[in-house]
Amino acid sequence: MRAMVYRGPYRVRVEEKDVPPIEHPNDAIVRVTAAAICGSDLHLYHGLMPDTRVGMTFGHEFIGVVEEVGSSVQNLKRGDRVMVPFNIFCGSCYFCTRGLYANCHNVNPNATAVGGIYGYSHTAGGYDGGQAEFVRVPFADVGPTIIPDWMSDEDAVMLTDALPTGYFGAQLGEIAEGDTVVVFGAGPIGLYAAKSSWLMGAGRVIVIDHLEYRLEKARTFAHAETYNFTEYDDIVVHLKKITDHLGADVAIDAVGAEADGNLLQHVTATKLKLQGGSPIALNWAIDSVRKAGTISVMGAYGPMFSAVKFGDAMNKGLTLRMNQCHVKRQWPRLFEHIQAGYLNPSDIVTHRIPLEHIAEGYHLFSAKLDECIKPIIIPTAS
């Protein structure tokens, strides 16, 4: 089969690999019909995530058709069109039985701090991902769901990570009616978080970024008030000024490890790898939210330490909430919102790229060329 393969920082190519075999009785092999590149894939692509091995296939956002099932699979059969959450989870451990699918303890021998994620380094379990023609899907009775007939492929791909994560980010903010919400980052997660904040009753939604085309999308797609941080000497002061010097009630970090906006943080984290990530957006969130406010962290960071302003967070009495999204738990409600017309996930898809051109796709997304917001990868065999 053809599959994307990591060759080292900033380098990927498409290679011929063996079709993955069934390795566990509850495995399924899925023929991928569409995948996406996630902003967090760029952390791998840039060599930021420890134990990212040459030869691995990335991709934790994908849908496809079931090709083969293991002997204990009861809920899926060959030919089913399925969407697969980015979390790999067993459904029976301490965490899964409490709805914390992202924190499953039975799928990642490499680390206890993170669950299993498709194509996301050995730090997340060492599973190959879906930017390929075929992918192994463990716990087929637990993770995948048959895509409803009314749902488009691109909406389904967005539901495997980006939309649930953005929506989850708004949920963790515990937004109350009339709250002012500031979202850092106008990428896919930030756009969905901003849009979801309205569903939870926000009175005002502000989005911060430095790319004008993404801020334009935040205005049109998410009805948000936007500010370009490069136009202000100090974005925190500006946010205080526009919130009557109180600060926002809720701040959502939808940027994570590779934030721009502070050269020292950016270089030490993303270039020299001396931090788990550059917490610029997180620090801005800490500083710009009101005292006793809530911060929701959806941005992905590496497992190493980062220079976070915890002193200010403590002194301000902030509530910091964070986790990887428990994707499948979000689906029923998100399906309702899509059918009601409240959410249109595929509106943010900007590029459809054949698998054979995935190297260009990664560069395009990484450098934010051609006003790229969300690229979809189409495997050859689909």
Partner 1 sequence: MPYTAEKPTPRETPEQLRARIPGWGADLDPADRPSYPKEQFLPTGAHWDFPERQVEKWPRERSIEHAFVTPVFGTSTPPKGLSGVIRKYAYRRFSEARAAHWLLLIAADRVDTAESAVTALLRGKPDNPVTETGILAESSPVADRVGQQRADAGHHALDPVIVAAPWVIGGGLAFSAVRALVRRRRG
CB of 196 to partner 1, least distance (A): 8
How many CB atoms lie under 10 A from the CB of residue 204? 17
CB of 32 to partner 1, least distance (A): 16
Does 231 help bind partner 1 (rule: CB under 8 A)?
A: no
- Residue 26 is classified by DSSP as T
Looking at residues 271 to 300 of the shown chain, list those that interact with partner 1 (rule: CB under 8 A). 271-273, 276, 290
Please tell me whether residue 74 binds partner 1 under the rule CB under 8 A. Answer: yes
- Contact by Cβ (8 Å): 82, 45: no
Phi/psi for 320 (5° steps) reads: -105, 120
- 148 part of the interface to partner 1, by CB under 8 A: no
> Which residues 347-366 are close enough to bind partner 1 by CB under 8 A?
351, 359-364, 366
Cα→Cα distances 55→126, 233, 380, Å: 11, 44, 19
Out of 18, 79, 311, 341, the residue judged to bind partner 1 by CB under 8 A: 341
Angstrom distance (rounded) from CA 349 to CA 152: 13
Binding mask 33-72 vs partner 1 (x if CB under 8 A, - otherwise)? --------------x--xxxxxxxx--------------x
119: buried, middle or exposed (CB in 10 Å: 19+, 13-18, 0-12)? buried
Is 322 a residue that touches partner 1 (CB under 8 A)? no
Closest CA to 273 of 243, 298, 301, 309: 301
Q: How far apart are alpha carbons 184 and 284 in whole angstroms? A: 8
Binding partner 1 (rule: CB under 8 A), the pick from 141, 316, 322, 382 is: 141
Which residue of 31, 81, 217, 337 would you call a contact of partner 1, by CB under 8 A? 337
The least CB distance from residue 72 to partner 1, in Å, is 7
Among the candidate windows 77-85, 99-107, 148-156, 280-288, which touches partner 1 by CB under 8 A?
Answer: 99-107
Which one of the spans 59-67, 146-154, 264-272, 278-286 is the region binding partner 1 (CB under 8 A)?
Answer: 264-272
The verdict on 18 binding partner 1 (CB under 8 A) reads no
CA 103, 324, 269, 131 torsion-angle sign: positive
- Rule CB under 8 A: say whether 193 interacts with partner 1: no
As given in the structure block, the two tokens for residue 219 are 């205005």
Residue showing tokens 């200010």: 312
The nearer residue to partner 1, 156 or 202, going by C-beta atoms, is 202
